[in-house]
Structure 1
Amino acid sequence: MEKAKSKIEQLKAVLQGHKTMLIVMQDDPDPDSIAAAVALRKLANTLAEVQCSIAHSGTVGRGENRALVKYLGLNLRPLDQIDLTIFELYALVDTQPGTGNNSLPATIEPDIVIDHHPCRRLTRHCRFTDIRSHYGATVTILYEYFKAAQIKLDTPLATAILYAIRSDTQDLGRDVSRADIQALTELFPIANLRMLSAIQRGKVGRDYFQMLADALKHARVYGNAIVTNLGAIENADMIAEVADLLLRDDLTNWVMVYGFCRDTLRISLRTDAEQPPADKVMHHLVARKGTGGGHPSYAGGQISTKDLTPNQIVRLEKLITSRFLKAVLTEPVKPKCLICH
């Protein structure tokens, strides 16, 4: 808690004397990004009366995430439709400069960066940073700020934070810290549990089931690993969602799912193996091609395909699949279909 108290004072110093701030989430934001952005907006307004806008690129595609945004009454703004020059301060939450998973122009150095992924080189130049890679969720860091500043959480925000921590740690099943557990324990009594249940059962369109069927149909099993390609998709969240689903197979402890969205090859890794860490494998997959990162049990990456020919894209798919299999298998294995036709 002493660290949170110190960070609050540093944050106040950055905020004071300013009137506006743009909070940028990761592209296709997940519950942790959304809750962290709303929490930072509340802190900025309470501590220094700074008015904030929240923006991102991509879509809020997953049914649960759309339900969360609706519950919070958020007016999320597409980053490419905002005049960036009108803001005095810029913040990144649940992402960092140079990661490739946010669309804040490289010409803008953010004033504030709060994240739970490993610290990036460019982050060290920012005025205020709080990077805790051992935390299960970024919003846990911000929850500690509320406690340190003795700012009362309203029920919607408490519910959002609770859901975000549960989502990012898969109900405390992956990459969780003592701070995450303590936050959940303290938030549970003040959250709206009926709404929490409704968020978790967020409605989906019928195209969701078609994408899921295609993912299972294309899935190939390589020993203890599964690889599948979702093809061209509008909803990038499906890549991570399918990866989470496939890891439930009782004979599998490594999953790679990829798809193409907005001229970008997007990749998700999931594992319940102790070694190698998923973030290290992702760095290997995208080496000299794109960007990526994550945690020991899950990771994401992206490679631009904007200037590639169809043949080059096919070669890229083969390359990342080969790199993945070499990284996680002890010997070559012939692929099998996950589902027999």
Structure 2
Amino acid sequence: MRAAEKTGSKLQKLTELFAGKAYLLIIIQDNPDPDCIAAAVALRKLANSMANLQCSIACGGTVGRGENRALVKYLGLNLRNCGEIDYSKFDLLAMVDTQPGTGNNSLPTQLLPNIVVDHHPIRQLTRTVPFTDIRSGYGSTSTIFVEYLIEAGITPETPLATALLYGIRSDTQDLGREAARADIEAIQFLYPFANKRMLSIIQRGKVPRVYYQMLADALGNARVQGPAIITELGEIDNPDMIAEVADLLLRDDETTWTMCTGLWNDKLLISIRTSEENNVAEHVMKRMVFRKGTGGGHLTYAGGQVPLANTTKAERQKLERHIEEKFLKAIGADAATSARLVKA
């Protein structure tokens, strides 16, 4: 089935699902990135326009990265906390840019969503959801929603167009990372409607002063191990920093793999990045957290989480060493050779 035909078919099914409903809850990642945020706002727009649904958007964590906070502020988005939601008040539950059982969202395990739209590989539990649109060949979930908007004849207002454009550019690193033709076409469609000045402001989102201390800690802890750089942030209150550090370290011209970890909300959070596409990051992450947690991602980037509730400090340190060893083994690096990235 061609993309346009698939989108038309999916939109029709979504319309049928909306019929007779009044309240929609959209669950996003605990620590949502721009693609996730934009996709949620686009689904809200579709639900409002097509069925006059009242929508709430909820996450179980925080928006920490400067760019992400700037985007949320620009959209005037009121994100609700999953822990304070009365799920019985909603007719429909949707998930965007995440799926049931991934570990990176806070949908209660006893609940199953009615709608899942995502660009990550489909998970087994997702196959039991009434409506799914999983396009792992796309560079972003926002692209799927751009196609929905076009098919529905809805012209996105400037804030939504700006958010979707930034979401696609962010997830594909300006179309340089795992972008598909659909992503390019979506950007071409959105560009005339977007606020270019606001895109620049969002990209240069302000950060709190503690950001620089976390960055200094990350660099101070960073170790070079063969083709990889590994670092730990310890206890943090800004989980987005983990992915940001992993991205930053990959800029080293002698490095092809990076890993950054941090402790947040009784979990060990992990981000890995690579410039190699023959050793899929998603597969490496799943080997790292096998039987201990959950993880997933794409060719060149992936994330994971391991529960830490009721563990001692020594047990946590042992787990971190285990994860590091699994990472180095998976990428074929020598665990015995280690050197500091920067001098103390």
* TM-score grouping bracket, smaller chain normalisation: over 0.9
Determine the structure 2 residue equivalent to 1:114: 117
Secondary structure at the aligned position of 2:199 is classed as helix
Asked if residue 211 in structure 1 is aligned to residue 214 in structure 2, the reply is yes
Q: CA separation in 1, counterparts of 2:336 and 2:317?
A: 21
- Mapped contact 2:225–2:334 kept (Cα < 8 A): no
Secondary structure at the aligned position of 2:296 is classed as strand
- Mapped contact 1:223–1:333 kept (Cα < 8 A): no
- Mapped contact 1:27–1:57 kept (Cα < 8 A): yes
Asked if residue 155 in structure 1 is aligned to residue 153 in structure 2, the reply is no
Cα distance 1:59–1:330, how it changes in 2: closer, same or farther (>3 A)?
closer
* TM-align CA RMSD: 0.8
The counterpart of 2:139, out of the listed 133, 136, 140, is: 136
Secondary structure at the aligned position of 1:339 is classed as coil
**Residue 332 of structure 1: CA displacement?**
4.5
Which runs of structure 2 are paired with 1:189-338 in the superposition (5 Å)?
A: 189-338=192-341
Q: CA separation in 1, counterparts of 2:192 and 2:44?
A: 23
Asked if residue 174 in structure 1 is aligned to residue 174 in structure 2, the reply is no
Q: Unaligned 5+ residue runs, structure 1?
A: none
The counterpart of 1:20, out of the listed 13, 23, 42, is: 23
TM-score by length of 2: 0.98
Q: CA separation in 1, counterparts of 2:211 and 2:334?
A: 35
Q: Please tell me the residue identity of whatever aligns with 1:183.
A: A
Q: Please tell me the residue identity of whatever aligns with 1:164.
A: G
Q: Unaligned 5+ residue runs, structure 2?
A: none
Asked if residue 99 in structure 1 is aligned to residue 102 in structure 2, the reply is yes
Secondary structure at the aligned position of 1:107 is classed as coil
TM-score by length of 1: 0.99
Deviations 1:214-249 (A, max 9, x none): 000000001110000000000000000000000000
Segments ≥4 residues shifted beyond 2 Å: 329-333
Q: CA separation in 1, counterparts of 2:201 and 2:176?
A: 21
Determine the structure 1 residue equivalent to 2:8: 5
**Residue 82 of structure 1: CA displacement?**
1.7
Aligned residue pairs total 341
- Mapped contact 2:325–2:335 kept (Cα < 8 A): no
- Mapped contact 1:64–1:201 kept (Cα < 8 A): yes
Determine the structure 2 residue equivalent to 1:29: 32
Which runs of structure 2 are paired with 1:59-78 in the superposition (5 Å)?
A: 59-78=62-81
Q: CA separation in 1, counterparts of 2:319 and 2:36?
A: 29
**Residue 84 of structure 1: CA displacement?**
1.4
Q: Please tell me the residue identity of whatever aligns with 2:228.
A: A
Q: Please tell me the residue identity of whatever aligns with 1:73.
A: G
Q: Please tell me the residue identity of whatever aligns with 2:303.
A: G
Q: Please tell me the residue identity of whatever aligns with 1:80.
A: G
